[in-house]
Structure formats: structure tokens, C-alpha cells
Amino acid sequence: MPSNLNRSLIKNLDLFKSLSDAALDSILETAQVYRLLTGDAAFRQGEVADRFFVLLHGHLKVVQVTPDGEQVVVRYVNPGDVFGIARAMRRPNYPASTLAVQESLALSWPSTEWDDFTATNPHFASNALQTVGQRLHDAHARIQELSTEEVEQRVARAILRLVDQSGRQTPEGIVIDFPITRQDIAEMTGTTLHTVSRLLSAWKDRGLVISGRKRIVVCAVDNLIRLAEGPHTSTPQPTDAKV
């Protein structure tokens, strides 16, 4: 029972929205605090999904390993996000590993309590459905990108998404607020670190980004958006044709 946690912070999380104060207290009663150092895993792919989590602070990445050892980054977990809810979807094991990319703090409960939570508060299950629905939507967007777009568009989109979720304004531009490598971006977009490096170099030359070791700053968001939208094969501009 973590006593010194900021209750209002937790109260505003999507998952717990519209829970009564009493219900919230009772839930927090059984929460366990997880402190993760960079590189630590909250859980690993294949393990029995016996706990679920809410991230309070820091950033995690969710990675899937293929049978022949290649990795795919499924998503990044931001503060406020729920993760590790495999059991709620009746999947016995975690489908991916979740690793801290910086020092992070999470709350966690035994998966067995999920049903209690949903029984206690009808909104809980509905909120979860919404969350998973959002993830499904994101996954479909990604499938569409992988199926129809070129590497440069995909990388541009991936970076824009990161900026959107975890961007912090600086004098130079918007920086992605946690350490991220070329390899990570390659694993998000289905390409290689070499290609990502070349793209970032090219963009740097054009003044769109600044980037260094595990660090990316976007200077010209608009231009990046244009890249993400592709080569504009033929947008027939109706100039001044009469209707």
C-alpha cells in the first residue's frame, strides 16, 4: 500500500476514470510499486501473465522476438498507460517483453484482481475495451503503412508519433524525451538501422532534425509531415477550373 503516491495523478488515468474515491482507495490498497532501472524488464515474453501494470513515470518499450531472433518494437509505454493486461484478454502468457528505456516507476496488481475490479466498477471493463480498441486501431494503421508505404514515410511517421506522445519543446526543436537508437526506430518500422541512419543523416543535412547518440530533435515538423504523406504521386490541383 504505497502511501506517498499522488492520488490525483492516478485518479486521472484512463483506466480508473469515474471510479469512486472509496473504490480507488481499495484498489490502491493492493497495489505494488515497481521501480525499474534502464534495461530492467517488468516482464518477459512467454512468462505467465500473473500481474498487470500502470506506468507512473518513465518510459518502457514493448518488444517481440521472432523465432529466429529478430526483434520488433510493438509500442512505447508512456506515463498513464496500462500494460501487461494479457490475462484480461484471457491470454495466459505475456506476448512480448516490456523493458525500461529509462528509470521508471509503475504500479502493479495480481491479474486475479482484474475480475474483482471489473465486478466492482462497471466502467472498468469498458475502459479496458476502449484501450485495447485504440491499440488495435494503431496496429491496423501500422499494418497499412508496412503494406503500402516506403521506408522514408514510415520512419517519418514513427518519429512524428513519438514526438506527439513524448515530445518536449526545446530551443532547438521538439526532442523525443527518452533515449532511442537507430536500431529501435528500425524495429518500429520494419527496416534496418543502416537505412534509418542514412535517412536521419539526409534529414539533418536538410535541417529537418538534429540527432546524436540516442537522441532525436525534430526542428521542422511541417516538412516531416510532408515526408510522411509521401511522394504526392498526383494531387491534381484544380487550379481555377469552374465547377
Classify 3 as helix, strand or coil. Answer: coil
213 binds, among DNA, a second copy, none (CB under 5 to 8 A by kind): DNA
Q: How far apart are CA 184 and CA 193, in angstroms?
A: 8
Q: Which is nearer to DNA, 86 or 216 (CB)?
A: 216
CB of residue 132 to a second copy, shortest distance in Å: 5
Instruction: Write the Ramachandran bin of 88: left for phi over 0, alpha for psi from -120 to 50, otherwise beta.
Output: alpha
CA atoms within 13 A on the CB side of 141: 13
Shortest distance (Å) from residue 35 CB to DNA: 18
Binding mask 45-64 for a second copy (x = CB under 8 A): -------------------x
10/224 with CB nearer DNA:
224
Name the binder of 28 from DNA, a second copy, none, CB < 5-8 A by kind.
none
First CA to last CA across the chain, in angstroms?
Answer: 68
Q: Is 72 in the site for a second copy (CB under 8 A)?
A: yes
Rounded Cα gap, residues 214 and 184, in angstroms: 9
Give yes or no for residue 9 binding a second copy (CB under 8 A): no
State the Cα–Cα distance between residues 75 and 196, nearest whole angstrom: 18
* Smallest distance from a second copy to CB 180, Å: 17
Query: 165 vs 181, which CB is nearer to DNA?
Result: 181
Nearest to 80 by CA among 107, 98, 62, 103: 107
Q: Which residues make up the interface to DNA (CB under 7 A)? A: 150-152, 181-183, 190-195, 197-198, 200-201, 204, 211-214
Q: Is residue 155 at the binding interface for a second copy, with CB under 8 A as the rule?
A: no
Please identify, using beta-carbon distances, which residue of 13 and 217 lies nearer to a second copy: 13
Main-chain dihedrals φ then ψ at residue 218, nearest 5 degrees: -95, 120
Residue 62 contacts residue 53 (beta carbons within 8 Å): no
CA distance readout (Å), 189 to 19, 24, 147: 38, 38, 11
d(CA 82, CA 99): 14
Query: By the criterion CB under 8 A, which residues form the site for a second copy?
Result: 64, 66-68, 70, 72, 74, 86, 88-91, 95-96, 118-119, 122, 125-126, 128-130, 132-137, 139-140, 142-144, 146-148, 187, 189-190, 229-230, 233
